[in-house]
Structure 1
Amino acid sequence: MSRIFVFNWISVDGIFSGPNGETDWFTVDPELEKANLSGLDRADTILFGRTTFKMMEAFWPTPGAAAQYPEIAAYMNETAKHTFSTTVDNSNWPHSFFHKALNRDTVNGIKETAKKDIVILGSGSVSMALQELQLIDEYILLLDPQLLGKGMPFFKNAGPTALQLLDTRTFPSGIVRLHYKVVP
């Protein structure tokens, strides 16, 4: 069965987005972009919350995204995207599916349809809900060398969880990619 992993940027003080959901603080690093691209084929399914879905939907299907990031745009447009929302239930973005409830049964149903692993990109509310359900298998965290001071904490209300470090990599910008496996 597919494994679920989180792939998310966080600041040193544990913030994953600014107070209004902004992500303009992410440090850009060409070497990191190349490394991230090489790992995309691990997952054929993405889980989103409404806010992240709408943000991604506004960019990735556009000609500008295809021109600026052709490989990532192709991946984002061809990959199955499952969004948990009580207010959004359709999109013209290909391969988009919508679920009103985020629960163990719904997630297990998605896992049965995935041929590869499942990734959560951003989507703090989905990550937090799956943390509570103990359905996350791995975390890949991009630790950005910044203290934001305020914003949305990534591990808000997370219960005790043992993690095993699988890999680290430091990039020229100072970003450290931390790859952890959840210890059952």
Structure 2
Amino acid sequence: MGRLIFAAITSVDGYTVDASGSFDWAAPDAEVHAFVNDLERGVGTYLYGRRMYETMRVWQDFPGAEDHPVTADYAAIWRNADKIVYSSTLTEASTPRTSVQPRFDADEVRSLIRSSDRDLSIGGPTLAAAAFAAGLVDEVRLIAVPVSVGGGTPALPAGQRLQLELLDERRFTGGTIALHYAVQH
């Protein structure tokens, strides 16, 4: 049985994008990127909302990725995983190994988790909020970048209490911190 993992790069004040919708401050350096690659190797399926999918699909044909071993590695990891996109507006996917569902169905995701021999990753705080509300998320992995953006989209769902148990943490040279939690159900 797989686990459902919510992973996000966040500012230290808890946002995935700033008030203008930008996340240019979140680009990982090579050390952090290599760490993220190692975390993502166990993921067999990515669950995305439309916006997150549109952001991530660049990895299918990432220009210049092959020139940099860390980005080439991540591109291969991403291409080799299945993707499910939940969208009421998107009717077909532009990348292989990708299906589109018109809405997030907690029971279907629960069944997918139970039948999977690999982990699943849910990307994007809006979609993840639905998974948290349904009690589906097993682990939270936050990569906290040393910048405070003052507002934007929160990484964790507003209005939901989450009890988390710290499993691991790691500090990086540039001040970024990786936090790994189990969700207490």
TM-score normalised according to structure 2 size: 0.90
Question: 1:150 & 1:98 partners in 2: Cα distance?
Answer: 31
AA aligned to 1:64 is P
For 2:168, the equivalent position in structure 1 comes to: 167
Give, as a single letter, the amino acid of the residue that structure 1 aligns with 2:100: F
Equivalent pairs, count: 182
Where 1:60 maps in the other structure, the secondary structure is helix
Counterpart of 2:61 in structure 1 is 62
Q: Output one character per residue of 1:95-131: Cα deviation in whole Å (capped at 9) or x when no partner.
A: 001111212222124325532010123x111111111
Partner of 1:72: 74
**Contact 1:27-1:173 within 8 A present in 2 as well:** no
Conserved? CA contact 1:85–1:99, under 8 Å:
yes
| Structure 2 counterpart of 1:86 | 88
- Structure 2 distance, partners of 1:49, 1:19, is 20
RMSD: 1.7
Q: Distance in 2 between matches of 1:63 and 1:11?
A: 25
Residues in 1 aligned to 2:62 and 2:145: alpha-carbon distance in whole angstroms = 29
Which residue number corresponds to residue 107 of structure 2? 105
1:1-150 alignment to 2 at 5 Å?
Answer: 1-57=1-57, 59-64=58-63, 66-67=65-66, 68=68, 69-121=71-123, 123-150=124-151
Structure 2's unaligned 5+ residue stretches are none
Secondary structure at 2:25 match in 1: coil
| TM-score (structure 1 length as normaliser) | 0.91
Deviation at 1:92, TM superposition (A): 3.1
3-state DSSP class of the match of 1:51? Answer: helix
Query: Aligned-pair distance for 1:141?
Result: 0.4
SS of 1:149's equivalent in the other structure is coil
Verify: 1:157 aligned to 2:158, yes or no.
yes
Identity %, equivalent residues: 26
Runs (4 or more) in structure 1 with deviation over 6 Å come to none
> Which amino acid is the alignment partner of residue 41 of structure 2?
D
* Counterparts in 2 of 1:113 and 1:83: CA distance versus 1, 3 Å: farther
How much has 1:65 moved relative to structure 2? Answer: 5.2
For structure 1, the residue ranges without an aligned partner over 5 or more in a row are none
